[in-house]
Amino acid sequence: MKTFDPANKIQDLQYFGEFGGVNPSISDSSTYTFLTAKTMFDAFEGNAEGCYLYSRHASPSNLYLGQALAAMEGTETANVAASGMGAITTALLQLCGAGDHVISSRTIYGGTYAFLKNFTPKLGITASFVDITKLDVVEAAITPNTKVIFCETVSNPLLEVADIGSLAKIAKKHNLKLLVDNTFSPLSVAPAKLGADVVIHSLTKFINGSSDTVGGVTCGTQEFIDALRNVNDGAAMLLGPTMDSLRAASIMKNLRTLHIRMKQHSHNAQYLAERFENDGLKTVYPGLASHPSHDLYKSMINPEYGFGGMLTIDAGSLDKANELMELMQHRNLGYLAVSLGFYKTLFSAPGSSTSSEIPMEEQKEMGLTDGLIRFSIGLDNDIERTYQMMKECMEAVGVLAKAETV
Ligand code: PLP
């Protein structure tokens, strides 16, 4: 028997809704009554177990979803937010104040990068962006003011892999918190089990999986999540990125099929990555032996869920990348759209979209080329058919040479 199966952990939770419903009832209220004024006072003081106060603080539907996500990540509890950025920014602001310093991977989602580069300095919080795969560089960047190491398990968009176990050891040694954005690798990797202190997801992506909402979650200790929600100085409570109860209930229902979807995303991405690489395309996918961190990632993942649904190819130039993406969309192979984790394949050129917040010079330095296309591979039933159709598009625009006909 496996020691930690995140899908079992989700399924082992049992809910009975009001009236015996098989789904928990949705709490359609922003505020809650108290039978006595004394209980209301106790609730504000955080001393009224089981009582709800106001939905920006907590709501039953959000707690149900948080509980399921905490079970998935193996943390004590979790706080659901209205977006991934709502989870990331509040976690960082809870841990850091004026004068503090963050060490961040340099290849992260453009919004997180912009937050640490342009926004937190206004509050006196500074960041150093480092190559997270170089542990000596990470350790050398630590200053007496460093509070947090931030990284993505598999980075957006370059698909670099963070060695979470080793980063956790560095964090512990220097008394820092390790925050890991696990958006690209739900179920495959359980960062808290590898030593991360806080695990964050944009629920917008694979976890919800239907591209119909944004959402986020912060998973951590009861102490940290209580601090986030504290009515006096909790960043989540005071900045207010609160998810609506109706949406929490719908994400919870989608979470129930995540294990099936992740297997198919990974299966399809592995298939395409192998074919593309074999055709001579510069392909990056953690499941390829050519990926610089393939062996490390293999040692970190729960193999049942594979190497994930994200891959990149280099089309050579932005013009070629755009031409290819437009043709693939025209032939209904997917959508030219940002985001990920949809049933249909999504593709975009990150240099001019999701990573455009990163200055050109820095993009170059980190290896983010103009012609890079990021694919979130969909749930296609017949991936061989998809491959053939994609190959035809690549040949039509000259990204791949046309096969010789005899
Ligand atoms: N983290 C990663 C890895 C992302 O790709 C994104 C969005 O693209 C975010 C966080 C932000 O999430 P949201 O758009 O839900 O705020």
Burial 228-253 (b: 16+ CB within 10 A, else e): bbbeeebbbbebebbbbbebbbbbbe
Q: Pocket of ligand 1, candidates 83, 89, 204: which has the most ligand atoms within 8 Å of its Cβ, to mutate?
A: 204
- pLDDT at position 360 is 86
- pLDDT at position 1 is 59
Cβ(111) – ligand 1 distance below 6 Å: yes
Burial 345-364 (b: 16+ CB within 10 A, else e): bbbbbbbeebbeebeeebbe
In this structure, whether the domain defined by 6-255 belongs to CATH 3.40.640.10 is answered with yes
> What is the Cα–Cα distance from 26 to 250, expressed in whole angstroms?
10
Cβ(204) – ligand 1 distance below 6 Å: yes
Asked if 39 and 50 count as a contact pair (C-beta separation under 8 A), the reply is no
Cβ(152) – ligand 1 distance below 6 Å: yes
3-state SS track over 90-129:
HHHHHHCCCCCEEEEECCCCHHHHHHHHHHHHHHCCEEEE
Where do the structural domains in the chain lie, given as residue ranges?
A: 6-255, 258-397
In this structure, whether the domain defined by 258-397 belongs to CATH 3.90.1150.10 is answered with yes
- pLDDT at position 194 is 98
pTM of the model: 0.96
- Gap from CA of 402 to ligand 1 centroid (Å): 37
Q: Is 88 exposed, middle or buried (0-12, 13-18, 19+ CB in 10 A)?
A: buried
Q: Pocket of ligand 1, candidates 156, 182, 198, 213: which has the most ligand atoms within 8 Å of its Cβ, to mutate?
A: 156
**What contacts 277, CB < 8 A, 6 or more positions away?**
283, 285, 288, 290
- Gap from CA of 186 to ligand 1 centroid (Å): 13
- Gap from CA of 37 to ligand 1 centroid (Å): 41
Cα–chain center distance at 293: 19
- Gap from CA of 231 to ligand 1 centroid (Å): 26
Q: Which atom of ligand 1 is nearest to the CA of 338?
A: 8
- Gap from CA of 203 to ligand 1 centroid (Å): 8
Cβ(85) – ligand 1 distance below 6 Å: yes
Q: Pocket of ligand 1, candidates 80, 89, 92, 109: which has the most ligand atoms within 8 Å of its Cβ, to mutate?
A: 109
- What phi and psi values does residue 128 have, to the nearest 5 degrees? -110, 130
Cβ(214) – ligand 1 distance below 6 Å: yes
- pLDDT at position 195 is 98
Q: Which of 180, 168, 175 is nearest to 91 (CA)?
A: 180
Q: Is 198 exposed, middle or buried (0-12, 13-18, 19+ CB in 10 A)?
A: buried
Spatial strand order in the sheet of 101-105: 77-81, 216-220, 198-202, 177-181, 146-152, 101-105, 126-130
Q: Which of 55, 87, 79 is nearest to 220 (CA)?
A: 79
- Gap from CA of 202 to ligand 1 centroid (Å): 5
Is the alpha carbon torsion for 349, 180, 344, 264 positive or negative?
positive
Pairing of strands 126-130, 101-105: parallel
- pLDDT at position 2 is 65
> What is the Cα–Cα distance from 191 to 45, expressed in whole angstroms?
32
Q: Atom 2 of ligand 1 has which residue's CA nearest to it? A: 109
Annotate 26-38 with DSSP letters as a single string: P---SB---SSHH
pLDDT tens for the chain, 406 residues: list them. 567 899 999 999 998 998 999 999 999 999 999 999 999 988 888 888 888 999 999 999 999 999 999 999 999 999 999 999 999 999 999 999 999 999 999 999 999 999 999 999 999 999 999 999 999 999 999 999 999 999 999 999 999 999 999 999 999 999 999 999 999 999 999 999 999 999 999 999 999 999 999 999 999 999 999 999 999 999 999 999 999 999 999 999 999 999 999 999 999 999 999 999 999 999 999 999 999 999 999 999 999 999 999 999 999 999 999 999 999 999 999 999 999 999 999 999 988 877 888 888 888 888 889 999 999 999 999 999 999 999 999 999 999 998 765 5
Q: Atom 15 of ligand 1 has which residue's CA nearest to it? A: 84
> What is the Cα–Cα distance from 21 to 27, expressed in whole angstroms?
13
Q: Atom 13 of ligand 1 has which residue's CA nearest to it? A: 84
> What is the Cα–Cα distance from 115 to 311, expressed in whole angstroms?
25
Asked if 105 and 151 count as a contact pair (C-beta separation under 8 A), the reply is yes
- Gap from CA of 36 to ligand 1 centroid (Å): 42
